[in-house]
Structure 1
């Protein structure tokens, strides 16, 4: 059988997809963002991939913040230190017999000169994501995968040109430390997909486990593992 996976996507397109998915290293991301500022065409590629990935990210359920997180943040804000000082000031003014009007004037002055306090809501912890670049044996980069162990979701982006091999499908596999492949479903060429990882497999999706893609007949493998050639494979790792 002829080689079914020869992506026609340029290197710029693949880099834009990796940037939009958030799987670049810190140095690679900095270089990509510098290029976006200088190269409008590359920036347009990144925006296009972000738009393509938006439905996938919207499908991920939200995760509630740990109990007591916001009170700890509020106590750590400088504004609360100022608030405590203001309470002491008011009490001192009252004890000293200062008039209510004078105290109000002092409060207005304090509020006027106090710099605004900006409170940023908690952001998703992307550091916990496990990422994998799936390459062929010849080093061709065909897929990008990211696993969220909290939501137990695998996000996969195919960089394969749609229609390259209409007679076959691409099946995703999780290969943990025991070496046995577990099917995670199918992915269409040139698309992004969010796949729920079953509870029985989520414990196996750890750093060092492999994600692979095999070329299968329509409907996927009927065997207990890949029945066709493994086209691309990569290991889950932290950025």
Structure 2
């Protein structure tokens, strides 16, 4: 069985990670500084953004929850008085047509909110997680991000397109019980969204392992991996 292919340069890997949104805040700041100073690195990030753009088509729009604006008003610092609140409301809404009417509506809204009992705020959604799937030598070959809100894994292959056409790369989720569950195939150089069932989503927890194996064309014929592990990583909060 052939090798998975040549290793990707570190610059390309960092550009792909930035485009996919799986860098930490510190790493993202460093990458954006490089983008501002190095046109070649900026071009690599833009190239990866174009390659990952089709993933957006698979992500459904999410409507903001009811009562979001009242929550924002109640979340303003406690030491701000009502005059300060109204001044900010008037400033932002006054930037659009009909600012006087909107400012008056804001006054009425604040007055009503002041008489309402506190509402229970819906808990924030679970944080996204990512996994950098690396070779035993520490080279990233695949990037994955899990969105608990949408119960979907976004995965990008850093393997050059056309590598080893006689085999397939199969992505696996390995939860705490140690049994691999197939999430599907990942084409070299491609990206895709993989929706999870409720049962699979419950297994996608922080610390769970994700791995890619090299399988016969079309994927493993067994109830589990049949080929060698190409890259492995663990889910961690972004």
Q: Which one is further off, 51-60 or 157-166?
A: 51-60
Does 1:178 find its partner at 2:173? no
| Aligned alpha-carbon RMSD (Å) | 2.8
Check conservation: 1:127, 1:238, Cα contact below 8 A: no
Equivalent residue number for residue 151 of structure 1: 150
CA deviation string 1:114-163 (max 9, x = no partner): 744599xxxxx898111000011121210000000110010000000111
Superposed, 1:116-131 pairs within 5 Å as 116=92, 128-131=127-130
Q: CA deviation at 1:214?
A: 0.6
* SS of aligned partner of 2:203: coil
The 3-state SS of whatever aligns with 1:128 is coil
TM norm structure 1: 0.78
Query: When the two structures are aligned, how many residues end up with a matched partner?
Result: 207
Q: In the TM superposition, what is the alpha-carbon distance from 1:204 to its structure 2 partner?
A: 0.3
Q: Could you tell me how far 1:6 is from its partner in structure 2?
A: 2.5
Per the alignment, do residues 66 and 136 of structure 1 end up closer, same or farther by CA in structure 2, a change over 3 Å counting? same
1:195 match: secondary structure? strand
Native 8 Å contact 1:208 1:236 kept in 2: yes
TM superposition score normalised by structure 2: 0.78
In the other structure, the counterpart of 2:19 is: 20
1:5 aligns with 2:5: yes
Q: 1:157 to 1:85 in 2, by over 3 A?
A: closer
Larger gyration radius, structure 1 or structure 2: 1
Distance in structure 1 (CA, Å) of the matches to 2:94 and 2:53: 27
Gaps of 5+ in 2: 96-123
- Give deviations 1:185-236, integer Å, cap 9, x for gaps: 1010001110101122110000010111010111110101000111111000
CA drift at 1:55? 1.7
What are the within-5 Å matches in structure 2 for residues 1-239 of structure 1? 1-7=1-7, 9-74=8-73, 81-82=82-83, 115-116=91-92, 128-239=127-238
1:92-120 CA distance string (max 9 Å, x none): xxxxxxxxxxxxxxxxxxxxxx744599x
SS in 1 for 2:184: strand
- Cα separation, 2, equivalents of 1:181 and 1:118: 56
Cα distance in 2 between the residues matched to 1:202 and 1:115: 44
Write the distance in 2 (CA, Å) between the matches of 1:189 and 1:4: 10
How far apart in 2 are the matches of 1:74 and 1:118?
17
Partner residue in 1 for 2:109: none
Output the CA distance in 2 between the equivalents of 1:10 and 1:126: 35
Identify the range of structure 1 (60-69 vs 189-198) with the bigger mean alpha-carbon deviation.
Answer: 60-69
Structure-2 separation of matches of 1:118 and 1:59: 37
Aligned residues of 2:175 and 2:205 also touching (Cα < 8 A): yes
| CA distance in structure 2 between the aligned counterparts of 1:202 and 1:215, rounded to whole angstroms | 24
- C-alpha distance in 2 between matches for 1:207 and 1:133: 13
